[in-house]
Structure 1
């Protein structure tokens, strides 16, 4: 289907977390109805959507019924099971497609794909045994990072190896899961580019952001990042090649390492709206969430040029307890995700503090 969906059409979203919530809010403003599919009956997105289907992701009959009730399906997290995505795609256009999920769900597949399409990463080796890990360390050097190939996020499922003696403990931390050893990137700062591709193949990207992490979790994004035009051009080129190779429709986040010599390496991609793009909600006329919905609905992509600079601050765990203070902060816009329980390490909301360009 290439024809644009009409207003009042229904868009299904697999996943009901904060990203699904913000997608639903943007869709509603544009006159589109969102149906959320999530195992949790009181998920954050359910309380702002037109309808919610509560079922397990492996309940393929429920998935099929859900997809048949909407005009297009998207997803808000990259670990949607392959069978779930396939079942949905049989009944409605799936945007982005299943290929993006297949690539993003396995770090080995992802890095192999990225390098094959002109988006260079650090050197890497697959690892399943201690002997393979020792060989990989001898080839890549130390320090290096051992990661599970699947399901790791926000610093989970990884271990830094600084000495050969750390290898056995690091491999044990993988709990028997297939792993990948990644060479250490001696970067000066972390960047990301959030870009969208429409059904017609048009690509539009927001300015790069500079990102600051702590304990594997994003804490702040500063946008637009203070980078050269050449850096922006290089990042856009890599993102465009990957989007085209995936025949992607929607918004994608690409995380980057900037090295001392100006080289950019791709850390990973996320086939969805991205935490480092939250600043666009208040600094751009068309934010990443509206842009994604536009792409999924087959609508023209919007203008990604910002009208303000922004400092996005993630509210992690009890950081969100200071919500009243943020409401008193000049030029700050508070976004809370409606999560009932505050837990350490849990993303509870974010704040965009706006400034001049």
Structure 2
């Protein structure tokens, strides 16, 4: 054990850090060095902060812009303490960080958002039950802790369902679909679905007749200041976000309702940081909460061009207890994700996308994450475009993606 790891906790160290905002020129720590950490780090550096990152991958995308990268796993408490000791504030870009690591980091610097909120959001069962207990609208669901309970949940929900692992899994991973297209839901199908969710606790949700999917980003500072972004409209392919547009094409009344739900969730959690609230709009007009993400979100990458303050700058402001930025809409903006598939031919060989052709489309920009190896389904970057309307922005970004 190193001398720094043996160092005892001094309450005065933390008190001196939380007595006021972490001003530009100090150091911001980030759990996670993926593309979200990279873009948050770029925003922090542009504001004058030094950036320290903890990530299991020493070649993580944020490593190219960070002052320091600590190579460590999400459950490494000593590494979490070492990150926080050198920082005036700590935030995160991934919710898989262990609660014990967050708690250890919080002994040395403010961690925003904190472990109590993350403990609920990390567990999809607890998250959905928390939303229901607090009166937020959710679709029909059941919790299943065994294969037998999964079978009971499917029977009770009486229709096509999604089963999602309680822990981990994203972009469609750790999920199973049952009863779609008239498929039989027999014992074999239940057993296969149980294996698909890792033979571990899962949330079972009735499939809904959807009109569209939207998300709302809300920021809340330690002082209780709140800013709610205009809703984004999202389109998924194979459970991965394909494109997103700000603002969403919804009525002013539904937009206001969605923003109020997001604000209510942030206040109920006493959020310090960012929270993306994913929602369903059903064909009969219901607005239902799907999932929560306590970090920057793929659907708000376009906020860099759509809003006065991007989600990445806002994350820095909230983590450092600075006044939150204006989130007013400047111009409609659309983004399209670039997965590793864009770099791969049918035989799996790599090729260079035609970014020059994409950039011929008016207003289009390219953002790449400096990931070293393209893989099918891996998020490698995104395109963005603006327009006089959301429809024009979406048409431009999809035309540019097709040109690749």
- 1:52-105 per-residue CA deviation (whole Å, 9 max, x = no partner) reads 222233332222122111001101001111111111111110101112211111
2:202 to 179, 182, 194: 179
After superposing the two structures, state which structure 1 stretch, 172-181 or 98-107, moved more: 172-181
After superposing the two structures, state which structure 1 stretch, 164-173 or 264-273, moved more: 164-173
Partner of 1:323: 355
Structure 1 pair 83/323, CA: closer, same or farther in 2 (3 Å)?
farther
- 1:227-251 per-residue CA deviation (whole Å, 9 max, x = no partner) reads 1121112111211111112111111
After superposing the two structures, state which structure 1 stretch, 154-163 or 121-130, moved more: 121-130
1:251 to 257, 264, 274: 274
- Secondary structure of 1:164's counterpart equals coil
Unaligned runs of 5+ in 1: none
Structure 1 pair 288/102, CA: closer, same or farther in 2 (3 Å)?
same
Partner of 1:170: 193
After superposing the two structures, state which structure 1 stretch, 123-132 or 223-232, moved more: 123-132
Give the deviation of 1:344 after TM superposition. Answer: 0.6
After superposing the two structures, state which structure 1 stretch, 54-63 or 18-27, moved more: 54-63
Partner of 1:355: 387
- 1:228-287 per-residue CA deviation (whole Å, 9 max, x = no partner) reads 121112111211111112111111111110011221001100000000001101222210
- Secondary structure of 2:236's counterpart equals strand
> Given that residues 118 and 238 in structure 1 are in contact (C-alpha distance below 8 angstroms), is that contact kept between their aligned partners in structure 2?
no
Partner of 2:47: 30
Give the deviation of 1:311 after TM superposition. Answer: 1.4
Give the deviation of 1:172 after TM superposition. Answer: 2.5
Partner of 1:233: 256
- Secondary structure of 1:40's counterpart equals coil
Structure 1 pair 354/257, CA: closer, same or farther in 2 (3 Å)?
same
Give the deviation of 1:177 after TM superposition. Answer: 1.4
The structure with more strand, counted as a fraction of residues: 1
- 1:129-173 per-residue CA deviation (whole Å, 9 max, x = no partner) reads 332222212211110111111101000111110032232221232
Structure 1 residues 1-357: aligned runs within 5 Å: 1=18, 3-162=20-179, 163-165=184-186, 166-319=189-342, 321-357=353-389
Give the deviation of 1:2 after TM superposition. Answer: 5.4
Following the alignment from structure 2 to structure 1, what is the Cα–Cα distance between the partners of residues 75 and 163? 30
Give the deviation of 1:206 after TM superposition. Answer: 1.3
> Given that residues 231 and 259 in structure 2 are in contact (C-alpha distance below 8 angstroms), is that contact kept between their aligned partners in structure 1?
no
After superposing the two structures, state which structure 1 stretch, 193-202 or 337-346, moved more: 193-202
Following the alignment from structure 1 to structure 2, what is the Cα–Cα distance between the partners of residues 262 and 86? 41
Of structures 1 and 2, the larger Rg is shown by 2
Following the alignment from structure 2 to structure 1, what is the Cα–Cα distance between the partners of residues 55 and 26? 20
- Secondary structure of 2:354's counterpart equals helix
> Given that residues 230 and 259 in structure 2 are in contact (C-alpha distance below 8 angstroms), is that contact kept between their aligned partners in structure 1?
no
The CA RMSD over aligned residues, in Å, is 1.4
Output the TM-score relative to the length of structure 2.
0.86
- Secondary structure of 1:335's counterpart equals strand
After superposing the two structures, state which structure 1 stretch, 278-287 or 161-170, moved more: 161-170
Following the alignment from structure 1 to structure 2, what is the Cα–Cα distance between the partners of residues 6 and 279? 26
Unaligned runs of 5+ in 2: 1-17, 344-352, 390-404
- Secondary structure of 1:74's counterpart equals strand
> Given that residues 222 and 272 in structure 2 are in contact (C-alpha distance below 8 angstroms), is that contact kept between their aligned partners in structure 1?
yes
> Given that residues 27 and 290 in structure 1 are in contact (C-alpha distance below 8 angstroms), is that contact kept between their aligned partners in structure 2?
yes
After superposing the two structures, state which structure 1 stretch, 114-123 or 304-313, moved more: 114-123
Following the alignment from structure 1 to structure 2, what is the Cα–Cα distance between the partners of residues 251 and 331? 28
